[in-house]
Each structure stands twice: as C-alpha cells, then as structure tokens.
Amino acid sequence: EQPNTKPPASRNDALFERAKKLIPGGVNSPVRAFKAVGGTPRFVQRAQGAYFWDADGKRYIDYIGSWGPMILGHGHPAVLEAVQKALLEGFSYGAPTEREVELAEEIVRLMPSIEMVRLVSSGTEAGMSAIRLARGATGRSKILKFEGCYHGHADALLVKAGSGLATFGNPTSAGVPPEVVQHTLVLEYNNVTQLEEAFALHGAEVACLIIEPIAGNMNFVRASVPFMKRCRELCTQYGALLVFDEVMTGFRVALGGAQSVYAKSIPGFKPDMTVLGKVIGGGMPLAAFGGTRAVMEQLAPMGSVYQAGTLSGNPVATACGLATLREVQKPGFYEALGERTRSLVSGLTAAGAKSGVPFCGDSEGGMFGFFLLGQLPQNYATVMTTDSPAFNRFFHAMLDSGVYYAPALYEAGFVSAAHTAEDIASTVAAAHDFFSSPASK
Ligand code: PMP
C-alpha cells in the first residue's frame, strides 16, 4: 500500500469549489477570484486589527482592508460600540435621521469644496449620480475620463479610448451598447497636450471631467501638479464641472482628501464636485457625492435631476461612518499613518535594491503602491508594462508568508492605524527573502 501523500484538505479550496457552483466565478466581485494571479482565493473567517484569518485558520497581515474602508483596522472598539448601539435602534427606516445630518455636517466641515452632500450606498452609485447631476446642471452630455481610472461600473463609464480624440469611447464590457458610451471621451492620464486638444475640440459640450486625483485603480499613480492645474483651468474656462472621485482617496490620503493635497501646491484649488465612499462608511455600505450648493440644488426633490435609494443614509452605516470619521480626526492620526505607510514602501524598495530587483513605490497617507519597475509610471499603459508573471510570483510568495496584498498588479494597497512597526518589519523581511531567492528571477 502506498502511504497517503495527499496534502491535508484545505477549507479554502473546498469553499471555492462550493462557491463556484452557485456564484459566478465563486465571488461577488471579480478581483477576489485570484484570476490574474492564479490559485485559490482566501475565504475570510474573521478579522481583527491589521489581520484576518482564512478558512484554514491561517493569519495574514491585511494590506487591502476591504479595498480601503478599514483605515482604523478591523474591529476598532469605538466603531464596534457605535454599530452595536445603532443596531439595537433599528436597521433601516426609509425616513430621515439625525445621524445623516451629523454625517453631512462632518463631511462638509472636513471638505471645504463640498457645500451640500447626498448619501448613497456604493461608490458606483455615487459616481453614476454625480455624472447625471453634472449633465443635468450643465445641460451638456459629454464627459471626459482617463484611462486607468475606475469610477464604478455604471454603463457610460465602462469604456476605453476610441481611435483618436475625435471619436468617443468603445465599451469594455459586453452588455453596454456603443450608443451608451458615445458621449464618453477617454484620455491618457497625465497627458496635458491631449487634455488641451480634447477641450479645444469638445470643450463647449463637456458636462464634466471625472478623475481619480491619485489613481488607485492603476496601482498608485498621482496626477502631476501641472496636469491637475490644467484640468482645473480648462474646466473653468469651458464651463465644465471638475469631479474628483475620492472614493478611495477621501479620508485616506489626508483628512481633507486628495483635494487638500493638491491645494497645497495649487493655491485656492477646489473641485466642483466630489465622490466619496469606502472610509466614510468605515466598512459599511455607504458612499456620497457632494459639491457646490448651486449644483447640488438641482437634485430631486429640489431640482429636476432624479436620484433616490431605499437604503440611502442607512442608520447602521452612518453610525459606523461617523465613528470612523471621529477617530481619524484625532491629533496626529494622518502623520502616524503616513509615516507607517512610508516605512513599508521604503522598506520594500530597499529590499528590492539589495537584490538588484527593479522596484519602486509611492504613498500618500495610508494608501500606497509598488511596482516591479525601475521608475514610477505616469499612466495606465506604463503600469501595464509590469512583468505580470513576476508580480504573481511575488504575490504568492508573500501570501505564503502570511502577507495579503491585492491579487492584481493594478490595485493600490492600504495600511491601517492598526498596523504596527513589527507588521511592517515582518512584511519587509518576507519581501527580502523572496527577492534574494531564485524564485524572484
Ligand atoms: N471610484 C473609485 C475610485 C473606486 O476605487 C471604486 C471602487 N474600488 C469605485 C469608485 C466604486 O465603488 P464601489 O465598489 O463601492 O461601487
């Protein structure tokens, strides 16, 4: 008889098989399926602080944090208490509450460009509604977006560049008719010349330009200051609204969001509208869009732009978001988070340099990106020149060591206030082990 050499059964594998029978790809959002990197997704059993445990009981240092919301780490006591208290008072009413007013007041106080705000349940909904409002408020149809920026999966935004600036986009998803994206023009990020040409050609018909100011959906790419300055100037000149998608960066890169980072370099800088999500819900389904009073007053029931939601301003979600926003306002919060995040990026970069592996990274506040490239890319096409098999080897080596990075090379990473110096040190040590092993080559 042969001894039984089969590896012990993995509950992650078993769950994935079960999931795939009933849920397309076994997941409820595509990137979770590990399609790009291969292997079995980790089914999360529970999370606490900077860690989560998978279905096999293995612990990981979590650098995704639910793709951004968990800025305090998992299970922060003040947030837990607020949510538990709210739960006992009712899950949803479909009628206004005091907490919605409090959350609106908090957002408006912390982001000076926002004079009025509406709460919704997801970033997709917020982005889609902001664009409808921009179109309604300007009476124009066309929108400008940038390649590599993601603003949720509304039909008009699932689009790639057409051929040349005179032609509008092509759908990137089946099920989106070409007519639906015919008003969306897709431009290269950080390309000032193209931006100027696009406005010269179409400026008078553009309702809004929507941008991730620090793009987290092509890993981590900052809009350069001159590029952002031109975005602002051209929108003003042509009467288009500048819409900042801060779903990821809002309350993540700084208390005032990415707009406060640009305002340091561009005096008086403000977007006309802002889209928020992730951190403002602290892990509950909550998002928002806001802007100037004149624009926001165009929304129903005041104005003629329709938008609504059964669960909008949900009492449990607003409790979670408010408790989260109160914690991040404590003195020194972003300084400490920024410092910890920088120490991760500089540690990884030094580990790469020691082994002669091309590696670079960048961060702002608690958001970071790293690249297996010699220098920081400025646009999506350059991000995608990354050696993806090398990224996949790195990803799996780190996963085996108990470090959970995003399972795709075009996603940003997140550090929370719960990550300790020891967590960073053990992450860097794991990266160093990989870079100095033959597997990295
Ligand atoms: N905008 C940005 C910048 C995002 O990163 C995301 C989601 N990652 C969205 C919009 C969409 O948000 P949601 O997944 O909550 O619909």
| CATH number of the CATH domain containing 156 | 3.40.640.10
Phi-psi category of 321—alpha, beta or left, where left has phi over 0 and alpha has psi -120 to 50? alpha
CA of 68 relative to ligand 1 center, distance in Å: 10
Q: Which atom of ligand 1 is nearest to the CA of 127?
A: 10
| Residue nearest atom 1 in ligand 1 by C-alpha distance | 151
Same domain, residue pair 398 and 296: no
The verdict on residue 246 lying in a domain is yes
* Residue after which a domain boundary falls, among 297, 312, 328: 328
CA 347 – ligand 1 centroid, Å: 29
Q: Residue 7's pLDDT is what? A: 65
Q: What is the Å distance from ligand 1's center to 104 Cα?
A: 20
Does residue 277 fall inside a structural domain?
Answer: yes
Domain edge (last residue) among 328, 352, 381:
328
Asked if 441 contacts 431 with a C-beta cutoff of 8 angstroms, the reply is no
CA distance linking residue 441 with residue 437, whole number of Å: 8
Q: What is the mean pLDDT of residues 262-269?
A: 98
Mean pLDDT across the stretch 82-111?
A: 98
Residue 272 token pair: 């006309």
The answer, yes or no, to whether residue 1 has pLDDT greater than 60, is no
Report the 10 Å Cβ neighbour count for 402. 15
In a shared domain, residues 105 and 229: yes
Residue 364: predicted pLDDT: 98
Contact 242, 272 (CB under 8 A): yes
Confidence grade of residue 6 (pLDDT, cut at 50, 70, 90) = low
Q: Is residue 436 part of a domain?
A: yes
Coil, strand or helix: which one is 198?
Answer: helix
Q: Nearest residue CA, atom 12 of ligand 1?
A: 123
Claim to verify: residue 319 and residue 353 sit in the same structural domain: no
Q: Dump pLDDT digits (tens) for 392-433.
A: 999 999 999 999 999 999 999 999 999 999 999 999 999 999
Same domain, 147 and 89: yes
What is the reported pTM? 0.97
Average pLDDT score over residue span 305-327: 98
Q: What is the mean pLDDT of residues 94-107?
A: 98
Given 280, 305, 328, which residue is the final one in a domain?
A: 328
Q: What is the pLDDT of residue 4?
A: 62
Amino acid 300: pLDDT: 98
Same domain flag for 340 and 291: no
Cα(441) to centroid(ligand 1), Å: 34
Query: Does residue 267 lie in a domain region?
Result: yes
Residues 210 and 132 grouped into a single domain: yes
Residue of 121, 124, 273 to test ligand 1 pocket, by largest number of atoms within 8 Å of CB: 124
Looking at residue 428, its pLDDT comes to: 98
Q: Rounded CA gap, 53 and 62, in Å?
A: 10
Q: Which residues line ligand 1 (CB under 6 A)?
A: 67, 122-124, 127, 150-152, 212, 216-217, 245, 247-248, 277, 287
In degrees and rounded to multiples of 5, residue 62 shows phi and psi of: -95, 110
Residues 26 and 105 in one domain: no
Distance (Å, whole) CA 135 – CA 206: 9
Instruction: Measure 220 CA to ligand 1 centroid, in angstroms.
Output: 14
10 Å CB burial of residue 355 (0-12, 13-18, 19+) is middle
Return the ligand 1 atom nearest residue 285 CA: 15
- Cα–Cα–Cα angle for 213, 219, 223, nearest 5°? 25
Task: Give the per-residue pLDDT at 440.
Answer: 81
Same domain, 339 and 324: no
The CB density around residue 94, as the number of other CB atoms within 10 Å, is 10
Q: Is residue 5 part of a domain?
A: no
Domain range for 20 is 11-63+331-440
Q: What percent of the chain clears pLDDT 70, i.e. is strictly above it? A: 98
* CATH number where 34 lies: 3.90.1150.10
**How many folded domains does the chain comprise?**
2
If pLDDT is split at 50, 70 and 90, which confidence band does 161 have? confident
Q: 119 with 213, same domain?
A: yes
Query: Quick one: how far is CA 374 from the chain centroid?
Result: 24
Q: What is the pLDDT of residues 352-387, one digit of tens each?
A: 999 999 999 999 999 999 999 999 999 999 999 999
Q: How far apart are CA 102 and CA 286, in angstroms?
A: 14
Q: What is the pLDDT of residue 2?
A: 59
48 and 132 in a single domain? The answer is: no
In this structure, are 386 and 262 located in the same domain?
Answer: no
> 342 with 323, same domain?
no
- Which amino acid is present at 30? P
Has residue 3 been placed in a domain? Answer: no
Give the model's pLDDT for residue 164.
76
pLDDT at residue 5 in the model: 64
**Is residue 357 in some structural domain?**
yes
Given a cut of 80, whether residue 167 has pLDDT beyond it is no
- For ligand 1, atom 14, the nearest C-alpha belongs to 123
Q: List alpha helices for 189-240, DSSP H.
A: 192-202, 225-238
Q: Whose CA is nearest to atom 5 of ligand 1?
A: 248
pLDDT digits (tens, 9 = 90+) for 326-347: 999 999 999 999 999 999 999 9
Q: What is the pLDDT of residues 29-69, one digit of tens each?
A: 999 999 999 999 999 999 999 999 999 999 999 999 999 99
Q: Which helix (H) or strand (E) holds 240?
A: none
What percent of the chain lies above the pLDDT cut of 90? 95
273 Cα distance to chain centroid: 17
Residues annotated as part of the active site: 150, 245, 278
- Provide the mean pLDDT of the chain: 96
Q: Which atom of ligand 1 is nearest to the CA of 212?
A: 3
4 lies in a domain? no
